[in-house]
Amino acid sequence: MGPDSTSDQEARRRADCDIALTLREPHTDDGPGVFNLIARCPPLDPNSRYCNLLQCSHFATTSIIAIADAGEHAVVGFISGYRMPARPDTLFVWQVAVDAAVRGLGLGSRLLTGLLARPALADIRFLETTIGPDNSASWALFERLAERLSAAVATTTLFESQRHFGGRHPDEILCRIGPFDSPAAGAARSP
């Protein structure tokens, strides 16, 4: 294989992404970076800048951000989520965004694990999200999470393409994982 082979390109890409990442709770100053990240991550639906500011403030405890210590785009990963109002033991993951420059390095899994490990979420027993039927990367991410948590996965169509989106958006399949023991609760019980 020549110097431009796929494996050589992948090795260079991984070396270029060997940067330090900080995973933390977002704050309002992160809103513009989150907005720009989501714009770079089709097919994610863009939200308003105001919505991203609310995610980084009102929903900061149930969201997580990855900041690169170097690079053009400081915000390279983001998960927004919230507790289900009628079921506070359930975390709904709204969006998972990972910059193309760091995809394939396990950042989505690190973000999910970091979020669930927070002491403030120690009582979470279920995780829900919606995924388009053709989004194989998201399906793989959440199936791996369920496996790590030794939890069951149940799926059902939550929003239908024709009925809810006028045919302009694919079905949104609800993926429910659980019950599981929270990683934060397990850490709290450890001596």
> Which pLDDT score, from 0 to 100, does residue 45 have?
87
Helices and strands (DSSP H and E) totals, the chain: 7, 7
CA distances from 102 to 63, 68, 97, 116, 187 (A): 19, 10, 11, 21, 28
Higher pLDDT, 56 or 161: 56
Q: pLDDT per residue over 91-135, tens digit each? A: 999 999 999 999 999 999 999 999 999 999 999 999 999 999 999
- Residue 32: helix, strand or coil by DSSP? helix
> Which pLDDT score, from 0 to 100, does residue 20 have?
85
Which CATH code is given to the segment(s) 6-189? 3.40.630.30
21 Cβ contact partners less than 8 Å away, ≥ 6 residues apart: 66, 67, 68, 69, 76, 77, 102, 107
Lowest mean pLDDT among 13-17, 59-63, 78-82, 175-179: 13-17
The whole-chain average pLDDT of the chain stands at 87
**pTM score:** 0.84
Lowest mean pLDDT among 27-31, 70-74, 138-142, 156-160: 70-74
Q: What is the CA radius of gyration of the chain?
A: 17
- The domain limits of the chain are 6-189
Whole-angstrom Cα distance, residue 71 to residue 57?
25
The owner of tokens 């704050």 is 27
- Cα dihedral sign, 102-106-108-110: negative
Outline where 40-135 has alpha helix (H). Answer: 49-57, 107-116
